[in-house]
Amino acid sequence: MTEPGDTQSAAPETEPQAEEDFTAPPRWPAAPAGTGSKLGRQRKGRSRFVAALLSIPGMSALLAAPAPQPDLPANRRSRLLAAFLSFIWPGLGQLYARRRISALIFGVPVLVAALWLVLQLTNGLDYFVASFLIDSFALTFVIGGLVFGVWRVASMIHAYATTGPRRRPGRRDSGVLAVLLLIVVVVSAEIVNYSWSTYRFDVDVPNNVLVQSQPTGGAPFVPVVTPVPTPGWTPPAIYAVPSATPGATPTPPPSHRLTILLTGMDWTTGRDHALNDAIMLVSLDTKTNKVSMISVPRDTAYFDFYYGGIAGPNTKINSLVTLWSQGKLTAPDPPLTAFAKEVGFLVGVKVDYYAAINMVGFTDLVDRLGGICIYNAKAINDPSTGTFIGSGNVCLDGATTMLYVRSRHNGGSDYVRAGRQQQVLLAVAHKMATARGLSVLPSLLSMAATMIQTNFPLKTVRDYVSIVQHLGDGDVTQCVLGPPYNYHPDSALTKGAWTSRLKLSRVAQLSVYTYGSDSRYYGMEGIVPAACGKSA
């Protein structure tokens, strides 16, 4: 018997259960006496809520399912697996160790960088590679390669150090971690090496000088016009420049053409100066996606200067750059710019840029590529140089490549040699795009940076990548301005020197056929377009 006001109450009786039944209404423990009707209302509300919850289809089965086992704590997880996951992607190891904040810190910056990289690749791999010719783009990858390498190493070490039991790791785990770290360092070093090589190339080539713009004596280069008369000799009528009929020349449409002069400067043994022994115009029509290559014979003489005057009968075109740079001839432009304008003037097309290549280093460049393979139409057996090159498909090293383009054996005239130069140029370009070429790209760029002088803006290369990608065999035409585009004058007129002179009437026909309205001969009276080697 209890006294009034006594708060003690007997414990409610409960029936023993063998297994907890989640489907039955819950049994709430008895509340202490005196809590009043408020607790009763709470019990009633909770019972209704549980009943409503259990009325949802499938909820009873879900509540009756056994509870999942708890995850392993971080100190019981594999530290080596955590490091490997961060090797795959920074932050994954931290996520595996249940360190979500650290996972975000390491993973999100890499994710942002990866998205930017994917964006750069949307225009194609070739466009992406050509973008490295922009110095700021290459420098971005130099810095990014360094940061990415350090970031991956830090993520791996952090994941390894903060996961697993707090005891000294075994040799096996430490060895595997060291191998993974070494892989990261090597890959990052290669990225930085390639990027730095292209960056140095981008910076060095525009500043590289093969030809000085001042005479060797130090006097300033004065751009004046100095015609070179040829007393007592008049060029034959076939040489004459076609004259335009006033009012008959149509206005050409806007140009869609990019034309570059490629010239090889050769310092052979015994010379105290360089000669431009390879003279080639490469023109890309961005409207038709066609490429033309026209070579001018190096012994071409007695021609008009683009700024007025005539070169003498013994003044060969391959010596102009040296004569201008030494002050023996003058021109209104620096030597290589003047040379590009002169060749374009004769062939009949505006030359946008030039690229001069020092052929002395060309041998080493071909060797670094592992040689090139070409098709030799006729075997060469030259006892004077001890050179034998069989016919058919042959592979050449650097030294043999130079002998191939220089040999006069078996009809190796200047015209044949000019054709071989075009052939070798295409073979080198093809080899540079192979796995072998890409594997030695840093050293190739380092060599090329000292061999090339150009005014071509490297940052625009990627604008032409899509066109070059789709070039087929029929999209590239080649021609050498030998006969019937030139002739050899009587040696008595040249004091025994071997020279050639262009037949500009024939050159004009080829020029209009090749360049269309972009040719300076376009619309001239009597000029009928004709393909290479064809007569109108």
* pLDDT tens profile 387-431: 788 888 989 888 888 888 877 666 556 677 777 887 888 888 788
Does 215 fall in a domain?
no
> What is the percent of the chain where pLDDT is above 70?
74
Confidence of residue 306 (pLDDT cuts 50, 70, 90): very high
Closest CA to 77 of 159, 19, 155: 159
Are 357 and 293 found together in one domain? yes
The whole-chain average pLDDT of the chain stands at 78
Q: How many independent structural domains does the chain possess? A: 2
Are 189 and 265 found together in one domain? no
Higher pLDDT, 328 or 250: 328
Closest CA to 507 of 329, 295, 191, 266: 295
Annotate 32-95 with three-state secondary structure.
CCCCCHHHHHHHHHHHHHHHHHHCCCCHHHHHHCCCCCCCCCHHHCCHHHHHHHHHHCCCHHHH
Q: How far apart (Å, rounded) are the C-alpha atoms in residues 209 and 219? A: 18
Are 101 and 191 found together in one domain? yes
> What is the percent of the chain where pLDDT is above 90?
33
Does 247 fall in a domain?
no
Does 284 fall in a domain?
yes
Over 50: is that where the pLDDT of 275 sits?
A: yes
The model's pLDDT over 46-60, given as tens digits with 9 standing for 90+, comes to: 566 556 656 666 555
What is the bridge-based pairing of β-strands 486-487 and 501-502? Answer: antiparallel
Query: Which SS3 state, helix, strand or coil, does residue 212 take?
Result: coil
CA 239 from centroid of its chain's CA atoms = 43
Closest CA to 283 of 357, 351, 356: 351
Does 240 fall in a domain?
no
Are 494 and 380 found together in one domain? yes
Are 202 and 260 found together in one domain? no
Tokens of 133: 């010719």
Mean pLDDT, rounded, for 25-29: 50
Q: Using the 3D structure, point to which of 207, 240, 273 is the last residue of a domain.
A: 207
Q: Which CATH number do you get for residue 414?
A: 3.40.630.190
Annotate 455-488 with three-state secondary structure.
CCCHHHHHHHHHHHHCCCHHHEEEEECCCCCEEC
Are 341 and 199 found together in one domain? no
Over 70: is that where the pLDDT of 9 sits?
A: no
Mean pLDDT, rounded, for 325-342: 91
Tokens of 282: 């490469």
Does 245 fall in a domain?
no
Containing 387, the helix (H) or strand (E) segment is: strand 387-389
Q: How far apart (Å, rounded) are the C-alpha atoms in residues 507 and 489? A: 17
The model's pLDDT over 140-195, given as tens digits with 9 standing for 90+, comes to: 999 999 999 999 999 999 999 988 777 777 788 889 999 999 999 999 999 999 99
Confidence of residue 289 (pLDDT cuts 50, 70, 90): confident
Are 202 and 270 found together in one domain? no
Over 60: is that where the pLDDT of 80 sits?
A: yes
Does 308 fall in a domain?
yes
Amino acid 32: pLDDT: 54
As to burial, measured by CB atoms within 10 angstroms (0-12 exposed, 13-18 middle, 19+ buried), residue 241 is: middle
Are 257 and 203 found together in one domain? no
Over 70: is that where the pLDDT of 119 sits?
A: yes
Residue 78's domain comprises: 74-207
Q: Look at phi and psi of residue 250 and say left if phi exceeds 0, alpha if psi is from -120 to 50, else beta.
A: beta
Give this prediction's pTM: 0.70
Are 147 and 295 found together in one domain? no
Highest mean pLDDT among 115-129, 379-393, 468-482: 115-129
Does 18 fall in a domain?
no
Are 360 and 473 found together in one domain? yes
Is cis: bond before 484, omega within 30 of 0? Answer: yes
Q: How far apart (Å, rounded) are the C-alpha atoms in residues 63 and 115? A: 42
Phi, psi of 85 (to 5 degrees): -65, -40
Are 147 and 279 found together in one domain? no
Over 70: is that where the pLDDT of 527 sits?
A: yes
Over 70: is that where the pLDDT of 69 sits?
A: no
Does 21 fall in a domain?
no
Are 298 and 155 found together in one domain? no
Strand partners, 272: none
Confidence of residue 514 (pLDDT cuts 50, 70, 90): very high
Q: Using the 3D structure, point to which of 207, 229, 244 is the last residue of a domain.
A: 207
Q: How far apart (Å, rounded) are the C-alpha atoms in residues 199 and 143? A: 11
